[in-house]
Amino acid sequence: MYLITIIFFLFFIIHPFCNIVKAENLYDHNSKHNKNYSILVDLVDNRLYLIDQLNNKIIKNYPIAGGKPTTPSPLGTFTIISKGEWSAGFGTRWMGLNVPWGRYGIHGTNKPLSIGGHVSLGCIRMLNMDVEDLYKLVGYGTPVCIYGGPYNMFVNEFRVLDPGNTGSDVYEVQRRLKDKGYYSGPLDGRYGEGMKAQVIKFRKDNNLKITHTIDKEFYNAMQMKPFE
């Protein structure tokens, strides 16, 4: 009962962000699916929850595996934009998400013992029998909120970032730089050429070592601190 209470608490925290993408199918070819369903992925407990937003009720919950600290799962609110049936050699179902910095989705796995850990390249893994069940219940346009714990981190540390990295942490650095007047590029979660110059400028203005790397020194100057 305590776990269910916590999950509802998490859902109501994230729920306003889910409203950015309406809980309705954006495409006609999946109209049979429940338009009030949304998905909450909790990377702290490694569980996926199917939620009826209309009745604020958890319909199903499944164990999952998320991304490794070096290749983290995307955090935030996304939408299912593709679906496919795959061979059992990799995982039997795929539900792709509209993550701007890469190809991520919810899919099955041929490594069932990986479920429950942080082991993937960023996708959300499910047992094949579970992903097949979920696949039948959700359609295109279903909101997917991926939660990573306090400060959107499922581990108590930041990655060291270099040009070429992508992810939610890159997105957060971009947002912070933009708020401080250093970055005017797109908030796309990609550490590209346009961001490199702004990182250098921020380092110079704050008397930091001149490097393109975003490390602990940089995070501290940005006042970004992991949770205790």
The CATH number of the domain where 32 resides is what? 2.40.440.10
Angle at 70 between CA 133 and CA 222, to 5 degrees: 115
- Set 15, 18, 33, 123: catalytic member: 123
E strand intervals along the chain: 37-42, 47-52, 57-67, 76-85, 93-97, 104-108, 118-120, 124-126, 143-147
Considering the domain boundaries, does residue 22 fall inside one? yes
Which residue from 67, 64, 46, 51 is spatially nearest to 9, judged by alpha carbons?
51
Considering the domain boundaries, does residue 160 fall inside one? no
Same domain, 32 and 126: yes
Same domain, 92 and 192: no
- What is the pLDDT tens value at each position of the chain, 228 positions in all? 444 444 444 444 444 333 333 333 344 444 467 788 999 999 989 999 999 988 889 999 999 999 988 888 998 899 999 999 987 667 899 999 999 888 999 999 999 999 999 899 999 999 999 999 999 999 999 999 998 876 454 455 788 999 999 888 898 899 999 999 999 999 899 999 989 999 999 999 999 999 999 999 999 999 887 654
Cβ–Cβ contacts within 10 Å for residue 162, how many? Answer: 13
**Which structural domain range is residue 113 located in?**
2-152
- Set 18, 107, 118, 145: catalytic member: 107
Whether residue 107 lies in the annotated active site:
yes
Same domain, 33 and 85: yes
Same domain, 184 and 95: no
Domain end call among 109, 124, 152: 152
Same domain, 141 and 173: no
Same domain, 51 and 130: yes
Whether residue 33 lies in the annotated active site:
no
Considering the domain boundaries, does residue 227 fall inside one? no
